[in-house]
Amino acid sequence: MKLFVKENIPYIVLHVMQFIFLYSTFHWLDANVVEGNIVYLFLVSQFMLIIYLTFRYVVGRSGYKWLSNIPDLKDAKTFLQMDVTSPLLHTFKEGLARQYQLMQSEKERSIQEKQEQIDFMNRFVHLLKTPLSALHLIVQDREDSDGSEEMQVEIVRMEYQLNMILTLSRISSFRQDFYIQTVSIEPLVYEVINDLKSHFIHHHLFPSADVHGDATVLSDRKWLKFVLTQLLTNAIRYSDGGNRHIKIFADRQGEYITLTVKDEGVGISPQDLPRVFDLYFTGANGRRFGESTGIGLYLVRKICDELGHRVSIQSALGVGTEVQVRFSLPSHPELIR
């Protein structure tokens, strides 16, 4: 209503000025006739204006209402479906339709380009993983040769980075790529430890697991394995060697099961701790060790959020870091072994 009034103020002002002019003219010609019928003349002069404004408001009410709310351009489809007869609104609707079409075309082009980039990235990573797997087998056959351990560590590190790239490219379509099932934590923990054994040996670290066989949660095993691999990789990277221990344990706390990865590493500074889950944030440790990409913990938080798990982190400089993933227990007792 306010927009309608603002648009029609010139018409109202012009009509009032016209009435004043006519009143002055008739008063000059015959003052007696005009003074006795001033109210009548005013009502007659306003009658056609009121009809005109009422008609314009009725036919353009929905359009004025939409414009008054200052909607986002992505909601323009609502306005484009309206029937408007006002020339101003009709012209605006045609211009908005062209802009909306351009926006949709640009959006589709952007989505297509992004998908092409993801497809290229996935194909490129898979092409690299094939020779890496071959190198992995060659190094295994030459375990006694000099430098084989270092080569094995570097191969595992490259495979880890490639998997990170794949995961980051797939995170946008994560909802179409997970399958919730009952997952036993104990075999998963030992599987990840075995996958990273060359890292543990190379850095002189000792993993210890305290997970009971009845620790079973509802999750996606593949993505949960990625989360645990990332947490253990970080624990190894920032433990700085020196025959330290990395502990993995799970316990039940009320209606939750908590999986904890605890290291005795360098720790995280208090000013960096609130931002460790931000994408591409590396912090002081990332600059010190030079291997951090700022992607791993971001993916951990993203995956846990999508799966309905809660991840938290505590750390102290020179003491170590403790990361917890909390799982809600299944609502049906028969799902818990």
DSSP state of 182: E
Confidence (pLDDT) at 127: 74
Confidence (pLDDT) at 242: 67
Mean pLDDT of 108-117: 77
Mean pLDDT of 247-272: 90
How many whole angstroms separate alpha carbon 133 and alpha carbon 155? 9
Instruction: Spell out the domains of the chain, with CATH numbers in brackets.
Output: 2-103 (no CATH), 181-335 (3.30.565.10)
Confidence (pLDDT) at 93: 72
Phi-psi category of residue 313: left, alpha or beta, with phi > 0 → left and psi -120 to 50 → alpha: beta
pTM (2 d.p.): 0.60
Calculate the alpha carbon distances from 169 to 158, 176, 234, 261 in Å. 17, 13, 21, 26
pLDDT tens track for 16-54: 777 777 677 766 766 666 666 666 667 777 777 777 777
